[in-house]
Structure 1
Amino acid sequence: MSVDYGDDSENYSEDEDIEAIRQRKMAEMQKKAAEEERQREAEAQKRALLRTILTPEARNRLDNLRLVKPDLVQALESQIIALAQTNRVRIPITDEDLKRMLEAIYQQTKKEYKIRFK
């Protein structure tokens, strides 16, 4: 009488593989959740700082601009926070101050087009 151990050892190996995959997926999900939580906390901290730096009107302008140019607003917010932390800007930043900043950025980034007629 012969005993076939092949199936049991294969099943055991497959179970180990499945468990290893499950553990990797769980670790990835936990890492992703921790990163998302860190990003939420950083964003909340940034909003709190901007609340103290900007007047309500200036915050409203940034919120409206964020709908159209989110990358610009994100860069501008980081710049405003850096300026405020180094005392290089008067606090609170008013809507007029923010308009001047936006105009300066626009002047730096605008493209000039030349049309030539031959």
Structure 2
Amino acid sequence: MVDDELAELRRRRMEQMQRQAMDQQGMEEEAARQQQIDAQVRAALMEILEPEARERLNTIKLTRPEFAKAVEQQLVMLAQSGRVRQRITDEQLKALLAQLTPSKKEFRITRK
């Protein structure tokens, strides 16, 4: 009986270790896939953005990463659809950012 219980414990532990190895391998594959996608996005941005515009986008990425990611995706989609015929300048990027930035609400405080 003790041998059967020990064998069962070993079998369960082996299955658990195999599942963990599979999960880790899946996470590594996902990380590699994400790195490949990021590299493709960077390459596309290098082609469609002027250096000044790329620098501006990198600065935005430092302060607002989610917004910068959305802008990058928008730019890549525009390029893939063929709507970008020439490289985007800093001024054009500013205009695009102004369109994508949500309007801020103004609050007025009056003191009596």
Q: TM-score, normalised by structure 2?
A: 0.91
The alignment status of 1:29 with 2:24, answered yes or no, reads yes
Query: Does 1:104 find its partner at 2:99?
Result: yes
Q: Which residue of 2 aligns with 1:42?
A: 37
Q: For 1:46 and 1:74, how far apart are their aligned partners in 2? A: 10
Q: Alpha-carbon deviation of 1:115?
A: 4.2
Partner secondary structure for residue 52 of structure 2: helix
Greater gyration radius: 1
1:33 alignment partner AA: E
Match of 2:69 in 1: 74
Question: How far did 1:116 drift?
Answer: 7.9
* Structure 2: stretches of 5+ with no match in the other structure: none
Q: Which moved more, 1:67-76 or 1:79-88?
A: 79-88
Q: CA deviation at 1:31?
A: 0.4
Paired residues in the alignment total 111
Q: Which of 90, 95, 98 is equivalent to 1:95? A: 90
Which secondary structure state, in structure 2, belongs to the residue aligned with residue 25 of structure 1?
Answer: helix
Residue in 2 that maps onto 1:113: 106
Counterpart contact for 1:84–1:91, Cα < 8 Å: no
Confirm or deny: 8 A CA contact 2:48 2:84 kept in the other structure: no
What displacement does 1:112 show?
A: 2.6
Contact preservation (8 Å) 2:44, 2:76:
yes
CA RMSD in angstroms, aligned pairs only: 1.5
TM-score (norm 1): 0.86
